Amino acid sequence: MPPLRMDFLRRRPPASLLGWTLMVVGLVGLVLAALDYAQAREELQSTLDRAERQARSAKARPRSAAPALAPALVSANARVSAAVAHPWGKLLKELERLAEPGVALLGFEAQGNTRQLRITGEAKTMAEVIAYVDTLRLSPVSSSVVLGSHEVITQDGVQVIRFSVDMAWGGAS
């Protein structure tokens, strides 16, 4: 019987050429990445330094007064401000409260600061249109309501009446 050989500490095989090649390629990649990082860090630092210098020079310079606005621009801003200052929230809440189940509202067009509103909608019958116009006339926010136009159109095989209502509002503002 041959003697029993127990080798608890076996020798490792020598590294292959592929292993050494991969290690060298990895080290080259590491060096290139480190150089790229260092260059990016230098660029960042120079950008931060330049921004700091600009901030210091801006603080040192005296500030000039704001330029005077042209009178036409001031009056245009005043007109826009007056148009926006209307109580639109109250009007829209009232229109939402007056919504009728058979009437679909498609759009609202405000006519500048004159408190004129054009409402566009659709209904299945003319009776629903007339009922909606009457409901608008009885509203406390409306001062004048006129059915501006209406036409019968066919959408997806269903006939509907598209209408527009001109409304002067501001009765309860």
State the pLDDT at residue 41.
97
Q: How confident is the model at residue 85 (pLDDT cuts 50, 70, 90)?
A: low
Per-residue pLDDT at 16 exceeds 80:
yes
Helical H runs in 85-163?
88-97, 126-137
Q: What is the pTM of this model?
A: 0.52
Least confident of 5-9, 61-65, 122-126: 61-65
Is residue 123 within 8 A of residue 163, CB to CB? The reply is: yes
Structure tokens at 15: 């590294």
Average pLDDT on 127-132 reads: 94
Q: What are phi and psi of 170, to 5 degrees?
A: 125, 10
Q: What is the pLDDT of residues 18-68, one digit of tens each?
A: 999 999 999 999 999 999 999 999 999 999 999 999 988 888 777 666 667
- Residue bearing the bigger pLDDT, 155 or 45: 45
Spell out the SS3 assignment of 51-93: HHHHHHHHHHCCCCCCCCCCHHHHHHHHHHHHHHCCCHHHHHH
State the pLDDT at residue 173.
42
What is the C-alpha separation between 30 and 128, in angstroms, rounded?
Answer: 78
Domain boundaries, the chain: 16-63, 87-169
What is the C-alpha separation between 172 and 155, in angstroms, rounded?
Answer: 37
Per-residue pLDDT at 152 exceeds 70:
yes
Average pLDDT on 80-88 reads: 70
State the pLDDT at residue 161.
94
Average pLDDT on 113-121 reads: 86
Average pLDDT on 84-112 reads: 83
Is residue 142 within 8 A of residue 171, CB to CB? The reply is: yes
- Which residue reads 């801003």 in tokens? 77
Mean pLDDT of the chain: 86
Is residue 123 within 8 A of residue 132, CB to CB? The reply is: yes
- Residue bearing the bigger pLDDT, 15 or 50: 50
Q: What kind of architecture, by CATH, is found in domain 87-169? A: 2-Layer Sandwich (3.30)
- Cβ neighbours of 167 (radius 10 Å): 23
